[in-house]
Amino acid sequence: METDVKNVNIWRSLQKVPAGTMFVPLIIGAIITTICKGMLGFDLWAYLGNPMKDMFSSSGQMLLIGLMLFCTGTSLKLSDLKDAMKRGVFLIIIRLVIAYALCALYYFCFGYEGIFGISFLAFTCAVTSANAALYMGIIQPFGDKSDKASFGIMLICSMPLLPLLFLGFFGTSGFGMAQVLQIISLLIPFILGMILGNLDMDIRNVFAGGNAIILPFLGFEFGSTINLFDAFRMLPQGIALSIVYFIIVIVPSYIFERTVLKRPGYASVATASLAGVALSIPGLAAAGNEALNVYVESSVATLAFVLAVTNILCPFMVRWILRRHPADEVREQKRALRAAH
């Protein structure tokens, strides 16, 4: 007779935390790093060697990002892009154009160092990011076909490609062959995944859960760069950048959605959360521009705080908007109820 083993439900518990499958491992990784490096003065992962080193420290970050780009590419259906063009793409373009313009202005006004302890690197990585997975989770119950088709465009925009391309123009030596090759290297797995996923449905199905497997390990690797003693010193910067993030990300696209598209506005607000992959961009950008190296650790610590704040608050903000301006499906249900009575 088999004995029933009680399931601890670790994975289900992680999913209850916003961005938890990446954020919780990040915190655990940061705690290990703080104890080992910050208090005991040695690098645990380097001491243990591979495969532990590449699985849990930043040395394996690029491999995991490449795998994530491939898995993301396989999930994109070219047929969905047509539906996204109806509305979602306009919201994303409005948001990104304003965000990148403000990033350029931020650099010209304050340089690499930025102001109030928020570096140009941290500012750019934050305001240009959107968590496509959380967006899809929020709008899934009530969003229409166009809302859901925007997921693919958001996935492309939330990957490191655009921020790295932008940051490359602000390097000490300008935008050169090193930046071009780095972007090509990031594009290849993404395009390869997109081609294979559209040619063969079985490939898309096999890699559909790929990012879910990768995210916890990527979280550990991001955490391995964070000393919590230093991170707590970045608390004011994290709060300030979270507020700036919401203003830049929500206000322009929300006004456009309400006034031009004549829509409820929930789609704009649903994009207002930082993607976990944004934490990888400081290290990638510094690889092509040594002048950014000094800002990587503080940027990752600040972005980790913004990640937590935006992913927790975003669903509540969407709920508040929906109470004021219901989605089409909700409005139709209310009309049907009134007609029935």
168 to 95, 194, 202: CA distances (angstroms): 20, 25, 37
Cα separation, 166 vs 168, in Å, equals 5
- The answer to whether 304 touches 222, Cβ cutoff 8 Å, is yes
pLDDT band at 330 (very low <50, low <70, confident <90, very high): low
pLDDT band at 145 (very low <50, low <70, confident <90, very high): low
Of the two residues 237 and 164, the one the predictor is more confident about is: 237
CATH number belonging to the domain at 77-207+234-329, selected among 3.30.70.3040, 3.40.50.300, 3.50.50.60, 1.20.1530.20: 1.20.1530.20
What is the percentage of the chain residues whose pLDDT exceeds 90? 10
Which residue has tokens 């495969």?
A: 51
Q: Identify the pLDDT of residue 106.
A: 93
Domain ranges across the chain = 77-207+234-329
pTM of structure: 0.71
Residue type (1 letter), 89: V
